Amino acid sequence: MQFGIIGSGTWGTALAKMLTDNGIPINWCVRNDAVAKHLLKRLHNPNYLQSVSFDSRLLSLFTQPRQVFAASDHIIIVTPSAYVTQQFSGITRKELAGKKIISAVKGILPQQNLLLNDFLKKKFHFPLDHYFTIMGPCHAEEVAAERLSYLTFSGIKTKATKDIAACFGTSYINTVINHDIYGVQYAAILKNIYAVSAGMAHGLGYGDNFLSVLIANAADEMAGFLRKSGIRNIRVGIHTAASILKAKKSPNYAASVYLGDLLVTCYSLFSRNRTFGAMIGKGHSVHSAETEMKMVAEGYNASRSIYELNQKVGAIMPIAENVYQVLWKKLPVEKAFKNIEEHLV
């Protein structure tokens, strides 16, 4: 396998670390020539996870996505969802033929309200069996510190998914496999919205007791959306493994990629969506919060996309809807949480 990575933010840097720690060379599309020169000379990303050191012999650095597509057969997309379509600008269907696309995008493409695999199918007739996802719960900062984390790899073909996952497994990364490409992506999108709500609650001065109730209801709200969207992998306490003593349990809604990622994104101080929400709760505007953070909070665009998608899905989503109303319709955050309070059980 020849891996390419498009994206050099915190998560892209963390994924590059996992691969190169296993001695796997990568083709890496970074932001500009200055970043590339710094990486080759100083052996770390000048902007993100500066404690991570790279072996320059394993790095082939580029500044144009097309160069990485040409040089790689497994391409990891790890840019904010709002900028994903730009990475495919000028790329032809022929150039993607036979390639494997691995999505580490934790958002929905806001221009069309599409998951990356649906965008690829629509624009390039890209086959779903050549599409894979990497999802958490896994904060890049803990990867940098080599604190044990779990990654879930999803794909239709079991062997191909396992082969990809094996390249990322290290002493600090355990890998899990499932086939729920749609479910894990929607869960990743939704958990960012709920993390924004958790941050808003913190900014408004709510305590841990309320936060636990909010997140429990968010988990139920997420499950309702997934079920209404046709996802069936959301039962709790039921597994299909013949013997859970001899093998891992089959993943269900309580697994790390669904409920686990929701919990860590809502609670962790590393969560940019929680941080963004906390700033909104304290009275910042969306613009000032984004400017001060200098990073993209996926929950912002996701709140609008999920609101629009849910007009067809028809799930009951008072938490997500009130987050949307605050961020996009200027509903006062205090009013939004009074609305939310009335729906919590």
pTM of this structure: 0.93
Q: How confident is the model at residue 236 (pLDDT cuts 50, 70, 90)?
A: confident
Q: Indicate the class that CATH gives domain 183-341.
A: mainly alpha
Instruction: Give the rounded percent of residues in the chain with a pLDDT score beyond 90.
Output: 86
| Euclidean distance between CA atoms 148 and 39, whole angstroms | 25
Q: Which residues 6+ apart lie within 8 Å of 92 measured at CB?
A: none
Rounded Cα–Cα distance for residues 99 and 329 (Å): 41
Average pLDDT over residues 65-90: 95
Written out in words, the top-level CATH class of the domain with range 3-179 is alpha beta
Q: Rounded to 5 degrees, what angle do the CA atoms 293, 14, 200 make?
A: 30
Query: DSSP string covering 96-129, please?
Result: HTT-EEEE---S-BTTTTB-HHHHHHHHH---GG
- Residue 246 scores a pLDDT above 70: no
| pLDDT tens digit sequence for 260-294 | 999 999 999 889 999 999 999 999 999 998 888 87
pLDDT value, residue 247: 58
Residue 147 CB burial class (10 angstroms; 0-12, 13-18, ≥19): exposed
pLDDT tens digit sequence for 324-345: 999 999 999 999 999 999 999 9
Question: What residue ranges do the domains of the chain occupy?
Answer: 3-179, 183-341
Judged against a pLDDT cut of 70, whether residue 242 lies above it is answered with: no
241 pLDDT band (50/70/90 cuts)? Answer: low
Question: Rounded to whole angstroms, what are the CA distances from 77 to 26, 237, 335?
Answer: 13, 33, 38
